[in-house]
Each structure stands twice: as structure tokens, then as C-alpha cells.
Structure 1
């Protein structure tokens, strides 16, 4: 039995999801004739109260398209120093859109409206034009932290006053909604564009969706084509997303519960220095001695438990759909064994 906690992207479709995929009706989506893709886009746009939605093969492409829609070359995007669009999208913001990022030194990937206001460049021709504020919820590098929605509303007010776009990287927004008892409509009312992912907590093999109103989304399908993201019989993938929305949302609470249980046990392991606050399904912890990082990962690997190293003595575990109760009990047992940490 392999216990893979490197990411919530390692899940594989359940048999029920595969059945939904195999029996769905498909068409050529480039001609906009794939009925299952059309159903998914209509469902997600309705969930967020937006006029349009577009299916993408990846969250990175959805985010990169949003940046392109909101900006012109030479513009600047305000985001956190931990932002996925800056750290984990291969420099796509500069390569694809010709924009720079003004990085805010936030708290666990989250910043304040006051910080946004301070980060807006003066309106002079020799400054890069600030045109977009980007938020990530939950924060990946911030340990699955959830934003305070009241702070998001304050940032929205700053955006409105300064004619700035507002984009949400909602790769794990589903986790935040469950953890905070919030709604898709709340977020749809605030953000101009939102990307949501289905291949993380919801257990799909592939797929993200970008939503927004007609004015901002008018060129989205053209940008997707430029990025090479137009697909043909994509309904097989969209069927998985539809199944996930209907069956896998509420169960995210189980992942959060298990993550917190892991954090509690880690707090008592002698080599563990700190465990970051756990709100959703991501557990980030730091060792007393960063030299032990490789050793710690290897010792778990020898017991068929896979986790990920973040460098600097920090390690990460992510709970997910395929992390069973049996796996959970084994992990807690291994971590609780005093001989494990001391050998």
C-alpha cells in the first residue's frame, strides 16, 4: 500500500466517475458542439452568477488567460509573494502577457487592502501601469490558508476606486467554501474573473474552468486557442468535472479533518519544530534541523509514505480523495512511533 501525500493532484478517477465519463455525449468543442462541455460551462457560470465560463486543460492556462484578458504588455499585477502565478507558472506572466508582478509581503499568502493601496503605482508615464490585483484562495504555499472574506471585500473596494481588475486563482476554492461555509455566488459577486480546478480536491483527472462576464470573457476562447488549449471531444473530461461537482464537494470536510489530525500528531514528533496552522487539506511543517529534511522524507518513503520537500527544512503533506481511513491510521501510527523520529 502506497500512501501518497505529495499533493491532492495524485488522485485517480473512481469507477463511478469513469462510468460517467465513458457514457457521456461528446462533440467537437472547437465548433462548440460538445454538449457535455457546454453543460459544465453553463453549470459553473450559474454557480458563480457569471455570464460565461470556459473549460481549460489546466489551472495554469486558465490563470494565464485571465492575466492576458486583464492586462496589456508592460502592465503590473499586484499579488502575494507566495502567489502561484508568480512561483509555479514558469514565468508565464512575463512570457505570455509581458507583465511584471508587484509582490506583497503578506501573511501565509494573504494580504490586506491597505497593502494593495500602497502597492498601486503612481499614475505617471514612467511607472508600470497597475491594472490587476490577483488573489489565491486557498493559498497553496501558505499551507491551505483561507482568506477573510471581509478583507476581500475591502480589496474589491480599492480595485473599484482605482479601476483595477480583480482575479481569483481558486484552484482550491472548493476547500475554502467548505471550510468557511461560504458560497460560489459570494465570490462571483466580487471577482471579475475566477479560475477553479477540478483535478485537486474534487478528484478529476484533468480540467479547470475560468468564469467571468461577457465583457472580460469576450476574447477568452481566442486566448485559449493561442495558448494551444482548444480541445475536441473534451466532454469526457467535462463529464468527470460534472460528476465531481455533484458527488465530491461535501466530502472535502473529511480531508480537512484528517489534515488537522496529522498536524496534531506532528506537533508531538521530536524532530518537528513547528506545524503551520491547518485550515483545509494542506499540512506544512518545519524541522528543527534542515539537514534532517531529506532523511525524514526518505524514512517515510521506506514505509511507502510519500511526502514533498519544500526546502529550508519545510515539508508538506496534502490529504485527498484517495487517502483512505486505513492509510490515515497507518500514517498516524508511524508518526506516533518514537523510534521513527529518533532512528
Structure 2
């Protein structure tokens, strides 16, 4: 029996439609630019986000790094939120590979204060690095899938434009953000110069992310992808899944959001967890153990033995992620298991 896997939406399995599409996809060599399935996916991704062009990359981490490489030059500095994925979970790649220093700012629920952003933009001074980029994250992983308001993104983008700075969005779950806002994803992307989004999370594809931006930006990004070893050959077998993801999997994301809210409510009812159901806007639930006697890392093993997989952020802090492969009934079963273990 398969476990109830709440570790991440990256664990989603490809749908039967995706597997069929993989077997039937016309292929070419994408490094030469002649894989028709990849070309179709890149055109669709660009159109959906309202940008000129896009690029298929193996992972979101590579997509973010390529964006930084393309927007900046070594020795510059980028402004980003202190709990952002780029800063915490991408192995300092922007420092080691792009040669860019990070300037992390505090941003409750992912929203850096506008005045703080403006103050962090470096003046012309021989002692300082140049500011080369502002990065945002929407939805925001560490803040439980928090969604950046459109008005906030508009203000950050206007500030960046006034200082001639590009804005990159780590939009790994941008379609979750658009679903929560009940707006077209283009309305989010319009306040950016580039966006990375994942096909392999809630959209269910087995591999792949997209980087979108202007044609000039993508032309340079393509060369950086090659430099990093991300140029794939008959990648149409993967792109075929991405096409199914964009065509058919976006419309069901609200189910994951509803299930996440339900999970937060049910965990709170057990008396063993502190959650904030009203703050759950997408598919990530942050839950804190009510008692200091319990250790989240120790409980993970017991949960796994009982058929539930999860992740711990700290000794008392769990992260649960809902997705297409976890049903409402399975969530209820998982909560019952948690309750049994903790009692």
C-alpha cells in the first residue's frame, strides 16, 4: 500500500494522459532548437504568462540561477526576502556560480517593506557592490504558501523600474497564487521581468520548470542553460508532460487549496498542533507541535511506520503539502494517525 505522502507536491506522479503523451511526442534535438514538442511547450508557457519567450529547464533551482546569471554580472548584489527559497535552499548557487552577493531583507509573509527595499538599493559608492536585481517569491514556501498581493507586486515593480533594476519572480507555484487570487496568471507576471515556474509540483509533471521573459533575455538564458549542463536533447518526452500540465492540471489546483485548509482545521482540532487555517491560502500547511515534549524529527519515523510521510522544518515545526495524489479521505486518515501517535 502506498503511503500518504504529504512531504511536497514534487512527489506527484504523472497522469495517464502524460504517460500517453510521452509515448507519442514528436522529437528532435532541443539543443539545436528542433524538438517540436519542446518548442510548442515554450511557446505555450510564454503565451500563458504574457511574455515574449520561454525556456524549458530541468529544475526550478537551475531556472532561478539562470535568471540571476542573465540579469546580473559578477560582483553585483541582489535583494531578496530572508526566508526565500533562493536564499535558503539553493546551495548558495547565486554566490558561488553567478558571483552575486545576496542582500536578504525581512519580509513577513514574503512581503519586504518597500522602504526597506529602497534603502537597500546601493548608492554609487566605491565601497559598495552595485545592486543588480530584486527577487520575489510567489507563492512563498516558508510562509506556508502565502500569496503576494498584486498591488504589492505592482509597487515593487514600479520601484525597480524607477531605479532601472530588473525583477525576477521565483514563481515555482505561481499557478497556485493565481488560483488563490482568482486572477489570470498574466496579471502576476506583468509585474516582473522574468518568472520561473515549476511543471513538476502541483501541475503533476515528472520533470521540468519554465523560465519566461523577453526574447532577448531568453536568448542569453539559453546560453547560460547550456553552460550549466541543462541543455537536453530529445526533451520532448518531458515537454509532452508539461503541455498536459498546462492544458489540464491548472484548473484543479483549488482542490489542493481546499484540502490544505481542511488539513489545517483538522490538525487544530486534535489539540496537538497549532495551525492558522485562516492563513492557509494555497497548498502548504505550517503546523507547530503544541507540546515541547514532542520532537518533530522523532515523530517523522513513527509517522512513516504508520504510512504517512511528512517534512519537519524544525524540532516542533512540520510542513505538510497537499497535491493531486492525496485525497480528502487520505487527509482524514493521516490526521487520525497523527492523533493516535501523539496520544
- Judge same fold: TM > 0.5, yes or no: yes
1:234 corresponds to: 235
2:248 corresponds to: 247
For the residue of structure 2 that corresponds to 1:55, the secondary structure is strand
Whole-angstrom distance in 2 between the partners of 1:41 and 1:246: 13
| Cα displacement (A) at 1:77 | 0.5
Matched, 1:6 2:7: yes
1:80-119 correspondence to structure 2 within 5 Å: 80-119=81-120
Moved more, 201-210 or 213-222: 213-222
Whole-angstrom distance in 2 between the partners of 1:273 and 1:328: 17
Moved more, 314-323 or 177-186: 177-186
Moved more, 12-21 or 110-119: 110-119
Equivalent of 1:293 in 291, 296, 306: 296
Whole-angstrom distance in 1 between the partners of 2:219 and 2:22: 29
Residue 110 of structure 2 contacts residue 148 of structure 2 at CA under 8 Å; is this kept in 1? Answer: no
2:313 corresponds to: 310
For the residue of structure 2 that corresponds to 1:138, the secondary structure is coil
Residue 275 of structure 1 contacts residue 286 of structure 1 at CA under 8 Å; is this kept in 2? Answer: no
**Which consecutive unaligned segments of at least 5 residues does structure 1 have?**
none
Give the TM-score taking structure 2 as reference length.
0.95
What is the count of residue pairs matched by the alignment?
340
Q: Summarize deviations over 1:160-184 as a string: whole Å, max 9, x none.
A: 1111110001101110111111212
Residue 138 of structure 2 contacts residue 170 of structure 2 at CA under 8 Å; is this kept in 1? Answer: yes
Moved more, 276-285 or 51-60: 276-285
Matched, 1:67 2:68: yes
1:1-343 correspondence to structure 2 within 5 Å: 1=1, 2-275=3-276, 277-287=279-289, 288-289=291-292, 291-335=294-338, 337=339, 339-342=340-343
Residue 171 of structure 1 contacts residue 196 of structure 1 at CA under 8 Å; is this kept in 2? Answer: yes
| Cα displacement (A) at 1:314 | 0.7
Cα pair distance change 1:75/1:290, threshold 3 Å: farther
| Cα displacement (A) at 1:83 | 1.0
For the residue of structure 2 that corresponds to 1:261, the secondary structure is helix
Q: Summarize deviations over 1:243-264 as a string: whole Å, max 9, x none.
A: 0111111111000001101100
| Cα displacement (A) at 1:148 | 0.9
Whole-angstrom distance in 2 between the partners of 1:189 and 1:301: 42
| Cα displacement (A) at 1:275 | 4.1
Whole-angstrom distance in 1 between the partners of 2:250 and 2:170: 18
Residue 131 of structure 1 contacts residue 163 of structure 1 at CA under 8 Å; is this kept in 2? Answer: no
Whole-angstrom distance in 2 between the partners of 1:242 and 1:142: 29
Q: Summarize deviations over 1:204-224 as a string: whole Å, max 9, x none.
A: 100011111123223111100
Residue 275 of structure 2 contacts residue 288 of structure 2 at CA under 8 Å; is this kept in 1? Answer: yes
For the residue of structure 1 that corresponds to 2:269, the secondary structure is coil
RMSD value over aligned CA atoms?
Answer: 1.5
| Cα displacement (A) at 1:125 | 2.1
| Cα displacement (A) at 1:15 | 1.4
| Cα displacement (A) at 1:269 | 2.5
**Which consecutive unaligned segments of at least 5 residues does structure 2 have?**
none
Whole-angstrom distance in 2 between the partners of 1:290 and 1:253: 36
Give the TM-score taking structure 1 as reference length.
0.95
